[in-house]
Amino acid sequence: MWNELTATQVAPPLWLVALSGLAALALVSYPPSWHVLRGLITIAHEGGHALAAVLTRRKLRGIRLHSDTSGVTLTRGNPTGPGMVATAAAGYVAPSLIGLGASWLVAAGRITLLLWAVLVLLVCMLLMIRNFFGAVALLAVGGAVFALSWFAPPNVQGACAYAAVWFLLLGGVRPILELQTKRRHGRAPDSDADQLARLTRVPGALWVLLFLLVSTASLAAGAYLLSARWLPFEV
């Protein structure tokens, strides 16, 4: 099992890497597809809140995922302080940072390791889900990842892994832009950025800017990792 997990796969051709990136960009840019697939970004978002809460020793009470692609992570502990700030700040940057870590594994050919790491994270989230729709969503995503890792040939696994990583990197940026649009029109008074503003006295717009800087930097670094082996130079 360990040999299977740590085995490396041959990188797909450059045209397939580029095509998977274009496909992910189309899915993120096209409103109907984004409306359906945005829930995957929400899973990563709420997972980021949950992981930050656990790492800062806050008590994780539960996670809820909703059919409108929104979600909420409930924690218990000091309502102020570094732990609460880290927990609130982790959500919007989580999809991009997960995408960056996944791009490193994919670029190294560790496709199987990536798929099983995703399965472990989904199982951990499933244990904390507190609503029916959230449980169904995680089971559906986990079932698809398991089927891909168990039944799909290596070339299909590689193509899907590249597309998924591109989707995380690109999809991590759009919710931040949507957040600022909602804030500008007064439709997100309790957003993560506004909660952070109340916790730290740093304006919410600066928190949104920080989220955007992290996500765009992750996109740039992830894109380099995914295409580095074909570049004529090294950075």
Q: Where are the alpha helices (DSSP H) in 185-228?
A: 192-200, 204-227
pTM, whole model, 2 decimals? 0.94
Q: What are the residue ranges in the chain where pLDDT is below 70?
A: 231-235
Q: What residues have CB less than 8 Å from 180, skipping those under 6 apart? A: 205, 208
* The pLDDT of residue 235: 44
Q: What letter does residue 129 receive in the DSSP assignment? A: B
What are 72's strand-pairing partners? 64
Dihedral sign (CA 147, 121, 10, 214): positive
| Cα 196 to chain centroid, rounded | 20
Q: Which two tokens stand for residue 52?
A: 């930050």
Q: What residues have CB less than 8 Å from 95, skipping those under 6 apart? A: 41, 44, 45, 48, 168, 171, 172, 175, 215
